[in-house]
Amino acid sequence: MEKIIIGRKETIDLPEWGIKAINAKVDTGAYNCSIHVSSAEEVEVEGKKMLEVILLDPEDKGYTGEKINIIHYKVKKVKNSFGQIEKRFLIHTTIILGNHNLQVAFTLSDRAKMKNAVLIGRKILKGRFLVDVEKVNRAPKVKK
């Protein structure tokens, strides 16, 4: 399979959450993808344990303020960019990158002080994409 060239930043959609055209930094140093959450807590609804999250911040493009309930999630130990171990929630969703629909694992973290609310990690890049660090939004788009 021929690999597709993408840029250091790409615009993605998160269709399950109604988020369109959000900028994501491609980070080959990160294993999983990561997304900023303004809140994430385990709750019980009708006797079922679930994760209730609000993605992004009001100033982020794509912010909806909507509380999203996620039934299937894990708590995972992750090494942060400073080399410290943190516990983070890990969830799965679909992203649209160019003309590809991809099932992706996202860790949820507080990225409020970071430039990019979304990181694309190497796990989904492997075997599919090559990164051209001189380009932005290089992924082929669906022809309309």
pTM of this prediction exceeds 0.85: yes
End-to-end CA separation in angstroms for the chain:
24
Range 4-131 has CATH code 3.40.640.10: no
Task: Print the SS3 string covering 28-87.
Answer: CCCCCEEEEEEEEEEEEECCEEEEEEEECCCCCCCCCCCCEEECCEEEEEEECCCCCEEE
Residues 64-119: tens digit of each pLDDT: 889 999 999 999 988 777 788 889 999 999 999 998 999 999 999 988 888 899 99
Q: Could you tell me the pLDDT band of residue 140, with boundaries at 50, 70 and 90?
A: confident
Relative to beta strand 4-14, strand 85-97 is antiparallel
pLDDT tens digits along 39-48? 999 999 889 9
